[in-house]
Structure 1
Amino acid sequence: MATRPRPSPLSLLLLLVNLAPQVGSLTAGAVVQRHQQTAVPALLPSRCRAAEPRMQRGGGPSYSPRPPVKRDSSGSGRGYNAPPPVKDTTPINDKIPHDVMRVLVDVGGGTDELLGVMSKREALAAAAERELDLVLIANKAEPVVCKIVSYDKYRFALEKKKKDQQKAAARGKSELKELKLSYKIGDHDYEVRKKQGIKFLQSGDKVKFSMLFRGREVTHADVGRDIMVRLAEELEEFGVLDATPKVMGTTMIMMISPRPRTVTTKSAPPKPDAPKPDAPKPDASKQ
């Protein structure tokens, strides 16, 4: 059965425009506007069309709800799980709640100059004269101690000091480093693992040597134990063996801890003996 050709949207538009005068309240402009809303979007690709709402029971459109926005503790949608910003509570200038204070002034090079004990009004005047800020640095002193300094410079110095302290604390912590071996390890790979172990032990880190046996390789556990014992003997200068190598499941493990560092103090050189007084010479006139 032959199918009729589908009329093009342009032919439908011309037909409706010609029939518009015969329609009562439907004007030509209304027909064109309705055609633009129905026929023109049909000619566009699917990716350019606006999303059509789904129809729910009852005839009304149904819109899918938007996913909830994750918010942090401050109520903002940005920075989810990020710590809240730290508020600066350092009292400066007029916010210092003290009338009498001991005042220092930053003279550069990490040194301060004492201006003396003065009132809050005098300290603010001294800070304004130098175009700097008055910052409270010691709240528990009697009287409190304030410093005339650039507040940005003061904050930068505090943050730098805090980072340096955190780095120093991180360097003092010992970490566990793991080095993997094989019972079929070659001489070159053995020397590489040995040098890595020496490096970790000298840095103050604990080293875990592990050797994995797959399937029937566990029958060669004696060979692997000999390799680990040899390695422990060669690292004796740099670390202390916590326990002999032992097999846990299919893995042989050996732990070596760094040797405690000994602090040597230079002894003061011995003082030279005091010169003995010369014996009195006999008087020749009495002889």
Structure 2
Amino acid sequence: MATKELRTNEQIRSKQVRLIDQNGEQLGVVDIDRALTMAQEAGLDLVEVAPDAKPPVCKLINYGRYKFEQEKKQKEAKKKQKQTKLKEIRMQPKIDTHDLQFKTKHVKEFLDAGNKVKVTVRFRGRELAHTEIGRNVLEKIIELLGDGYTVERAPSMEGRFMSMVLSPKSKK
């Protein structure tokens, strides 16, 4: 709600509102003039919390404090979100088995850290005529990794590159 400003006090255009007091109790449908008077007597603001309802729902609250609480909730929600990065590992179709195992170990580390991994095989010159070798390399990586991941995008050609995207399995 922080991106969309709520209407307060005299900004509310409706003639009647459904009023909720500061304790959260419903006072029913009230004329706007009476609601504004009640807000002034209590030293609070009349805030339109549900403008789309018929009639709009208004609450008697301290608007400054309400805005502060909403911002605090948003910051907490943002903290709990996990940023996933897309890491990329590049190789060639004529990769040696040891190098393949070494790079697969790096892929596994990235996946364990919670990142997505794009594994790319780069074809040069005549290698483009034998893209099945690159596909075999990618399938060998899937085989070496085991079960701790999901193939988000299967191996596919993009120009001179064949790539696939792997992501860690959700912990749910």
| Alignment length (residue pairs) | 162
In the alignment, does 2:148 pair up with 1:229? no
Residue 57 of structure 2: aligned partner: 145
Q: Give the TM-score normalised by structure 2.
A: 0.61
Aligned partner letter, 1:254: S
Q: What runs of 5+ residues in structure 2 fail to find an aligned partner? A: none
1:141 shift after superposition: 2.9
Distance in 1 of aligned mates of 2:4 and 2:163: 48
1:155 aligned residue: 67
Q: Secondary structure at the match of 2:155?
A: coil
Retained in 1: the 8 A contact 2:87–2:110? no
Distance 1:96 1:225 in 2: 63
Q: Structure 1 residues 122, 190: CA separation in 2 closer, same or farther (over 3 Å shift)?
A: same
- Counterpart residue identity of residue 164, structure 2: M
Match of 1:180 in 2: 90
Offset of residue 162 of structure 1: 6.6
Q: 1:142 to 1:227 in 2, by over 3 A?
A: closer
| Residues 189-240 of structure 1: CA deviation (Å, up to 9, x unaligned) | 541223224555xx6x4x421244678999xx99876653321113352223
The partner residue of 1:115 within 21, 24, 27 is: 27
**Partner Cα distance (2:17, 2:142) in 1:** 63
What 5-or-longer segments of structure 1 have no aligned partner? 1-85, 264-287
Residue of structure 2 equivalent to 1:191 = 105
Q: Does 1:93 align with 2:4?
A: no
Match of 2:41 among 121, 129, 152: 129
Residues 1-287 of structure 1 aligned to structure 2 (within 5 Å) = 88=5, 90-107=6-23, 112-158=24-70, 177-181=87-91, 183=95, 185=99, 187-197=101-111, 199=113, 205=116, 207-212=117-122, 227-235=137-145, 237=147, 238-240=149-151, 242-243=154-155, 249=160, 251=161, 253-258=162-167
Structure 2: which amino acid aligns with 1:94? E
Summarize the Cα distance change of 1:243–1:126 in structure 2 as closer, same or farther, 3 Å threshold: same
What is the Cα deviation at residue 132 of structure 1?
Answer: 1.1
TM-score by length of 1: 0.41
1:140, CA displacement in angstroms?
3.6
For the pair shown, the structure with the greater C-alpha radius of gyration is 1
Aligned-pair Cα RMSD in Å: 4.6
Conservation of the 8 A alpha-carbon contact between 2:88 and 2:120: yes
Distance 1:104 1:226, change over 3 A: same
Q: Which of 1 and 2 has higher RCO (CA within 8 Å, sep 6+)?
A: 2
Q: Deviations over 1:128-185 (max 9, x none)?
A: 22211001223343333211112223334555667788899x87xx975422236252
**Alignment identity in percent?**
29
